[in-house]
Amino acid sequence: EEQDKAINANKDAIQANSTAIQANADAIKANGDAIKANGEAIKTKADAWDTAKKFAAVQEMFDDQTRKNAELDKKNENQDKAIKANGEAIKANGEAINTERDQRVAMDNVLDKKITDEATNRANEDKRIEAKFDGEVARLDSKIDKLDARVEKVGAMAAAIANLHTMGYDPEAPTEIAVGVGQYRDKTGMALGAFHYPNRDFMLSFSVSTAGDEFMGGIGATWKFGRKSPEELRQAEAEKAAKAKLAKAEAAKKAAKDARVAAQQKRHAEMLAARTGK
């Protein structure tokens, strides 16, 4: 902005100097015209004036005009120097402005490139992160789907194993084979089991199940404790029979009581009907 002001001031000075030069040129021309007119006047009055006086007057006028022309030339020379100096200053200012403009353009280009590179790097990084995130989500979804399928198969196999049951101890047939089928959602499981009684107080069990490509198996053992002696068994049977007999007697007693109540109710109803009929 300061340079623009200086340039404008120089332009105004040049314009003023040009105007002054033109004015001086016009004055010179006017002076020439005046000299020419004076000469013609001197020639016209030559007969009336003395030759020496005429020459002296003309010489004085010529010298005065010469002095004025010298002063004007000096003034014009100073103005030319000022105009030249102003032109050089304007040129220097213009070159400085162009240099600063070029530097700013170069800096702007560098900054624009940095901004573009940063935006490109960020866009590439965002794409990389998004692709990685999508890949992780897809991998996790796949694992969850596989886990769901395995859970459903395990549920089907567990349901199949839960349907394996023993019929109890039989000394004549101590080994049993059992088969079970289980369903969980859309998965079906099959199970095979075996039970063996070496004696009535110990049992071995084995089971295996499958659902698709999944397998499950197990082995178990069961012991029975606290078995009663023959005497305790006979006593328990006697107590059981006594309880059954008592329960039967109580039932018979209750039935007899219910029969008596029913008979009384019937008799009272007949008596009431007889009285009502009278």
List pLDDT tens digits, range 112-152: 888 888 888 888 888 888 888 787 777 777 777 778 888 99
Flag whether the pTM goes above 0.85.
Answer: no
- 42 pLDDT tier (thresholds 50, 70, 90): low
Task: Check: CB of residue 176 under 8 Å from CB of residue 192.
Answer: no
The angle at the Cα of 109, spanning 106 to 115, to the nearest 5 degrees, equals 145
Number of CB atoms found within 10 A of residue 78's CB: 11
Find out whether 6 and 93 touch, Cβ atoms under 8 Å: yes
Looking at the chain, how many residues does it have?
Answer: 278
* pLDDT for residue 179: 97
Q: How sure is the predictor about 67, in pLDDT bands with cuts at 50, 70 and 90? A: confident
251 SS3 class:
helix
Q: Which has the higher per-residue pLDDT, 84 or 154? A: 154
Specify burial of residue 70 (Cβ count, 10 A radius: 0-12, 13-18, 19+): exposed
202-211/175-184 β-pairing: unpaired
Nearest one of 169, 163, 173, 167 to 202, comparing CA atoms: 169
Whole-angstrom distance, CA of residue 56 vs CA of residue 75: 28
Please choose, from the candidates 68, 60, 28, the residue with its C-alpha nearest in 3D space to the C-alpha of residue 42. 60
Is 202 in contact with 174 (CB distance < 8 Å)?
A: no
